[in-house]
């Protein structure tokens, strides 16, 4: 089993955490990648991302968020490779010592999917649990200890933080300046996506995913609060909803892939949001299209309930830009406003082409 460490020092200091956990993270990354150089680079990138958002990391759940970032960075680099995901499950189970439920929450999938991956992984490795633990222990012993490159990690984290601040500033400006809306998330704008399911996503940033407790309120936009419960998603809005949907979306068909779309009138325009469902795990990205602009939405998922959740746009759509939104899908085109991509970069669900008629 991997070595344990003392609890976080007073002040929740990132540098102290990085120094204390660098050796264990490198070992875990080495088991994931089977390459010393790739393992160190994976941990450097992971810690840089955590450094950029350290103030928002829950004090009592740091290890979960760090592990989650490590795994997401690793799997995004190897999109669509089942062997990589299966190996990740085995490492988390037999090296990190996580339970099936903990792995399911970390990966955003069901407990049954984790157990299936463990069975298939052990069969493919031609080994059993005890022998695999011994293999991992021997591999860990071969890892040469090194010092955390803290200066480089903090420098990378600073760059990421400044980029996020610039995006946030652009989002604020977008609310005030007509025609600039959604500029904050215009990553990969102008890249045309195919219209059929199974088309691979070739660009765009991953959606920020927040794991929430049942009933936990989240501010999604001006005057709009959203939350999730076991029976669906809920909204509290300042004015009546425009378009389909009411103040809640319960009874979601969890087993059937799909994504809903609703508009709520807010200060500055309309906030777009909805529910995705029927996925194998968490979405990698939820893309919202308004005219010729594409933006990355934010995602909320309920702890322990993978495969469905709530998405919402990062900024309101102005009254003028709503004309472009309403024109999407008309005239026989196959354009959609919302597209959900899975972890392999393929289209998992799209909004209805004629959503305003639902």
Split at pLDDT 50, 70, 90, the class of 204 is low
User: Which has more confidence, 236 or 18?
Assistant: 18
pTM to 2 decimal places: 0.51
Model confidence at 183: pLDDT above 60: no
| Model pLDDT for residues 152-182, shown as the tens digit of each residue | 889 888 888 787 676 556 544 544 444 433 3
C-beta separation of 189 from 293 below 8 A:
yes
Strand (E) or helix (H) holding 290: strand 285-290
User: Radius of gyration over alpha carbons of the chain, in Å?
Assistant: 21
190/173 Cα distance (integer angstroms)? 21
Round to whole Å and give the CA distance between 215 and 300: 12
Quote the tokens at residue 135: 């293999």
Q: What is the mean pLDDT of residues 59-72?
A: 86
Distance CA 286, CA 204 (A): 10
Question: What per-residue confidence (pLDDT) applies to 303?
Answer: 76
pLDDT above 90 for 107: no
**DSSP bridge pairs for 276:** 259, 309
Phi-psi region of 180 (alpha: psi -120 to 50; beta: other; left: phi over 0): alpha
Which DSSP category does 247 fall into?
A: S
- Interatomic CA distance for residues 306 and 106, integer angstroms: 10
Mean pLDDT to the nearest integer, 322-333: 62
- 306 vs 316, higher pLDDT: 316
Q: Is the model more confident about 297 or about 107?
A: 297
d(CA 249, CA 356): 16
């Amino acid at each position: 089993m991997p070595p344990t460490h003392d609890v976080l020092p007073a002040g929740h200091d990132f540098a102290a955490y990085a120094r204390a956990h660098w050796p264990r993270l490198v070992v875990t990354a080495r088991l994931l990648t089977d390459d010393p150089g790739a393992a160190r680079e994976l941990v450097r990138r992971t810690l840089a991302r955590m450094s950029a958002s350290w103030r928002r990391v829950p004090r009592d759940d740091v290890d979960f968020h760090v592990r989650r970032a490590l795994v997401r960075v690793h799997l995004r680099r190897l999109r669509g490779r089942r062997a990589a995901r299966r190996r990740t499950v085995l490492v988390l189970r037999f090296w990190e010592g996580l339970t099936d439920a903990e792995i399911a929450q970390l990966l955003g999938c069901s407990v049954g999917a984790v157990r299936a991956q463990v069975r298939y992984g052990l069969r493919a490795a031609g080994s059993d649990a005890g022998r695999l633990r011994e293999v991992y222990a021997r591999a860990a012993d071969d890892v040469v200890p090194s010092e955390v490159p803290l200066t480089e990690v903090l420098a990378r984290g600073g760059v990421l933080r400044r980029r996020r601040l610039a995006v946030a500033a652009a989002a604020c400006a977008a609310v005030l300046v007509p025609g600039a809306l959604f500029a904050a998330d215009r990553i990969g704008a102008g890249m045309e996506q195919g219209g059929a399911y199974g088309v691979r996503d070739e660009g765009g940033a991953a959606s920020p995913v927040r794991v929430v407790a049942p009933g936990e309120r989240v501010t999604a936009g001006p005057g709009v609060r959203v939350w999730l419960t076991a029976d669906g998603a809920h909204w509290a809005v300042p004015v009546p909803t425009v378009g389909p949907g009411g103040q809640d979306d319960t009874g979601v068909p969890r087993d059937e892939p799909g994504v809903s779309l609703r508009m709520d009138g807010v200060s500055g325009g309309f906030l777009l949001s909805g529910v995705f469902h029927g996925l194998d795990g968490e979405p990698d990205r939820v893309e919202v299209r308004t005219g010729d602009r594409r933006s990355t939405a934010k995602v909320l998922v309920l702890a322990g309930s993978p495969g469905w959740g709530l998405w919402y746009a990062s900024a309101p759509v102005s009254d003028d830009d709503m004309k472009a939104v309403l024109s999407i899908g008309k005239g026989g085109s196959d354009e959609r406003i919302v597209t959900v991509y899975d972890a392999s970069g393929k289209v998992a669900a799209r909004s209805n082409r004629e959503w305003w008629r639902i």
